[in-house]
Amino acid sequence: MSNDMPAAAAGARADGGSSSGTREKSRAYGFELPMLLFAGFRSVIDELHAELARRGHPELRPAHGFALQAIGHGGATAAETGRRLGISKQAAGKTIDRLEELGYVHRADDDADRRRKLIRLTPLGIAALSMSAMIFNDIQSRWESVLGPERLAGLESDLRAMVPGETFRLDVPGWFGG
Protein backbone atom coordinates (compact mmCIF):
# COMPACT_ATOMS: atom_id res chain seq x y z
CA MET A 1 0.00 0.00 0.00
CA SER A 2 1.33 3.38 -0.91
CA ASN A 3 1.78 6.11 1.64
CA ASP A 4 0.23 8.43 -0.92
CA MET A 5 -3.43 8.89 -0.14
CA PRO A 6 -5.85 11.41 -1.52
CA ALA A 7 -5.41 14.82 0.04
CA ALA A 8 -8.93 14.64 1.40
CA ALA A 9 -8.17 11.34 3.12
CA ALA A 10 -4.78 12.45 4.42
CA GLY A 11 -6.00 15.24 6.62
CA ALA A 12 -9.77 15.04 6.81
CA ARG A 13 -12.18 12.63 8.38
CA ALA A 14 -15.54 11.46 7.03
CA ASP A 15 -17.37 14.08 9.10
CA GLY A 16 -15.19 16.88 7.79
CA GLY A 17 -13.05 17.09 10.93
CA SER A 18 -9.29 16.82 10.95
CA SER A 19 -7.52 13.53 11.65
CA SER A 20 -4.65 15.39 13.30
CA GLY A 21 -4.71 16.07 17.00
CA THR A 22 -7.25 14.38 19.23
CA ARG A 23 -9.33 11.51 17.92
CA GLU A 24 -12.93 12.30 17.27
CA LYS A 25 -15.66 9.75 17.90
CA SER A 26 -16.91 9.93 14.32
CA ARG A 27 -16.71 7.03 11.93
CA ALA A 28 -13.42 6.88 10.02
CA TYR A 29 -12.83 6.17 6.37
CA GLY A 30 -13.01 2.47 5.51
CA PHE A 31 -9.30 2.17 4.77
CA GLU A 32 -8.49 2.88 8.40
CA LEU A 33 -9.89 -0.45 9.66
CA PRO A 34 -7.36 -2.68 7.87
CA MET A 35 -4.58 -0.22 8.65
CA LEU A 36 -5.44 -0.22 12.36
CA LEU A 37 -5.75 -4.01 12.43
CA PHE A 38 -2.37 -4.34 10.71
CA ALA A 39 -0.79 -1.75 13.01
CA GLY A 40 -2.10 -3.67 16.03
CA PHE A 41 -0.75 -6.94 14.61
CA ARG A 42 2.58 -5.31 13.81
CA SER A 43 2.91 -3.77 17.27
CA VAL A 44 2.28 -7.13 18.95
CA ILE A 45 4.77 -8.94 16.69
CA ASP A 46 7.41 -6.20 17.08
CA GLU A 47 7.00 -6.25 20.86
CA LEU A 48 7.29 -10.05 20.86
CA HIS A 49 10.52 -10.00 18.87
CA ALA A 50 12.06 -7.22 20.94
CA GLU A 51 11.38 -9.29 24.06
CA LEU A 52 12.65 -12.51 22.43
CA ALA A 53 15.86 -10.64 21.59
CA ARG A 54 16.22 -9.49 25.21
CA ARG A 55 15.69 -13.08 26.36
CA GLY A 56 18.39 -14.59 24.19
CA HIS A 57 16.85 -14.99 20.71
CA PRO A 58 18.01 -11.86 18.85
CA GLU A 59 18.29 -13.67 15.52
CA LEU A 60 14.63 -14.75 15.30
CA ARG A 61 12.52 -12.82 12.82
CA PRO A 62 8.73 -12.87 12.35
CA ALA A 63 9.03 -15.19 9.33
CA HIS A 64 10.97 -17.63 11.52
CA GLY A 65 8.17 -17.66 14.08
CA PHE A 66 5.57 -18.42 11.43
CA ALA A 67 7.80 -21.19 10.06
CA LEU A 68 8.30 -22.71 13.52
CA GLN A 69 4.51 -22.69 13.99
CA ALA A 70 4.01 -24.27 10.55
CA ILE A 71 6.53 -27.02 11.34
CA GLY A 72 4.91 -27.62 14.71
CA HIS A 73 5.68 -30.25 17.30
CA GLY A 74 4.95 -33.09 14.89
CA GLY A 75 7.37 -31.90 12.23
CA ALA A 76 6.75 -31.22 8.56
CA THR A 77 8.47 -31.51 5.21
CA ALA A 78 9.69 -28.38 3.42
CA ALA A 79 6.80 -28.73 0.96
CA GLU A 80 4.24 -28.99 3.79
CA THR A 81 5.81 -26.02 5.54
CA GLY A 82 5.63 -24.02 2.33
CA ARG A 83 1.96 -24.90 1.79
CA ARG A 84 1.09 -23.97 5.37
CA LEU A 85 2.85 -20.62 4.93
CA GLY A 86 1.56 -19.97 1.43
CA ILE A 87 5.08 -19.80 0.00
CA SER A 88 7.05 -21.99 -2.38
CA LYS A 89 8.92 -25.08 -1.25
CA GLN A 90 12.13 -23.27 -2.22
CA ALA A 91 11.30 -20.22 -0.09
CA ALA A 92 10.35 -22.48 2.80
CA GLY A 93 13.64 -24.34 2.29
CA LYS A 94 15.62 -21.11 2.62
CA THR A 95 13.86 -20.24 5.87
CA ILE A 96 14.35 -23.80 7.14
CA ASP A 97 18.05 -23.65 6.19
CA ARG A 98 18.43 -20.48 8.26
CA LEU A 99 16.53 -21.95 11.21
CA GLU A 100 18.77 -25.03 11.02
CA GLU A 101 21.90 -22.82 11.01
CA LEU A 102 20.56 -21.08 14.11
CA GLY A 103 19.81 -24.40 15.84
CA TYR A 104 16.00 -24.12 15.97
CA VAL A 105 15.24 -27.08 13.67
CA HIS A 106 16.94 -30.18 12.29
CA ARG A 107 16.25 -32.53 9.41
CA ALA A 108 15.35 -36.14 10.18
CA ASP A 109 14.19 -39.22 8.32
CA ASP A 110 10.46 -39.83 8.35
CA ASP A 111 9.85 -43.18 10.09
CA ALA A 112 6.76 -43.75 7.92
CA ASP A 113 8.50 -42.99 4.60
CA ARG A 114 12.31 -43.08 4.34
CA ARG A 115 12.19 -40.99 1.14
CA ARG A 116 10.83 -38.00 3.05
CA LYS A 117 12.88 -35.63 5.16
CA LEU A 118 11.02 -34.15 8.08
CA ILE A 119 11.92 -30.86 9.62
CA ARG A 120 11.68 -31.14 13.39
CA LEU A 121 11.97 -28.57 16.13
CA THR A 122 15.05 -28.84 18.32
CA PRO A 123 14.85 -28.21 22.05
CA LEU A 124 15.89 -24.61 21.25
CA GLY A 125 13.00 -24.32 18.77
CA ILE A 126 10.53 -25.69 21.29
CA ALA A 127 11.90 -23.32 23.94
CA ALA A 128 11.51 -20.34 21.57
CA LEU A 129 7.88 -21.25 20.85
CA SER A 130 7.18 -21.72 24.57
CA MET A 131 8.82 -18.40 25.38
CA SER A 132 6.80 -16.75 22.61
CA ALA A 133 3.59 -18.07 24.15
CA MET A 134 4.54 -16.62 27.54
CA ILE A 135 5.43 -13.26 25.98
CA PHE A 136 2.13 -13.22 24.06
CA ASN A 137 0.35 -13.78 27.38
CA ASP A 138 2.26 -10.82 28.87
CA ILE A 139 1.32 -8.64 25.89
CA GLN A 140 -2.30 -9.70 26.18
CA SER A 141 -2.24 -8.81 29.90
CA ARG A 142 -0.84 -5.37 29.07
CA TRP A 143 -3.57 -4.81 26.47
CA GLU A 144 -6.12 -5.90 29.08
CA SER A 145 -4.73 -3.40 31.59
CA VAL A 146 -5.10 -0.60 29.03
CA LEU A 147 -8.44 -1.59 27.47
CA GLY A 148 -10.01 -3.38 30.42
CA PRO A 149 -10.96 -7.05 30.51
CA GLU A 150 -14.44 -6.57 29.03
CA ARG A 151 -13.28 -4.50 26.05
CA LEU A 152 -10.41 -6.86 25.25
CA ALA A 153 -12.69 -9.90 25.49
CA GLY A 154 -15.18 -8.09 23.25
CA LEU A 155 -12.46 -7.21 20.74
CA GLU A 156 -11.27 -10.82 20.61
CA SER A 157 -14.84 -12.11 20.31
CA ASP A 158 -15.66 -9.64 17.54
CA LEU A 159 -12.52 -10.56 15.59
CA ARG A 160 -13.33 -14.29 15.93
CA ALA A 161 -16.81 -13.57 14.54
CA MET A 162 -15.34 -11.76 11.53
CA VAL A 163 -12.48 -14.16 10.71
CA PRO A 164 -13.68 -16.78 8.22
CA GLY A 165 -13.14 -20.46 8.88
CA GLU A 166 -12.50 -22.44 12.00
CA THR A 167 -8.71 -22.38 11.93
CA PHE A 168 -6.11 -19.66 11.88
CA ARG A 169 -4.08 -19.47 8.70
CA LEU A 170 -0.32 -19.19 9.11
CA ASP A 171 0.29 -17.91 5.60
CA VAL A 172 1.06 -14.30 6.51
CA PRO A 173 4.54 -14.39 4.89
CA GLY A 174 3.07 -15.75 1.67
CA TRP A 175 0.16 -13.33 1.76
CA PHE A 176 2.60 -10.43 1.98
CA GLY A 177 4.57 -11.88 -0.92
CA GLY A 178 7.60 -13.05 1.05
Q: Confirm whether 71 is domain-assigned.
A: yes
Residue 151: domain span: 44-164
| Rounded Cα–Cα distance for residues 5 and 163 (Å) | 27
Q: Confirm whether 16 is domain-assigned.
A: no
Find the helix or strand (DSSP H, E) in which 150 lies: helix 149-162
CATH of the domain at 113: 1.10.10.10
User: Using one digit for the tens of pLDDT, what is the confidence trace for 56-83?
Assistant: 999 999 999 999 999 999 999 999 999 9
| Rounded Cα–Cα distance for residues 36 and 48 (Å) | 18
Taking the model in full, what pTM does it have? 0.76
Q: Confirm whether 116 is domain-assigned.
A: yes
User: Using one digit for the tens of pLDDT, what is the confidence trace for 81-120?
Assistant: 999 988 889 999 999 999 999 999 999 987 877 788 999 9
Q: Confirm whether 35 is domain-assigned.
A: no
Q: Confirm whether 1 is domain-assigned.
A: no
The domain total for the chain is: 1
Q: Confirm whether 38 is domain-assigned.
A: no
**Nearest Cα residue to 104 out of 72, 75, 84, 126:** 126
Q: Confirm whether 92 is domain-assigned.
A: yes
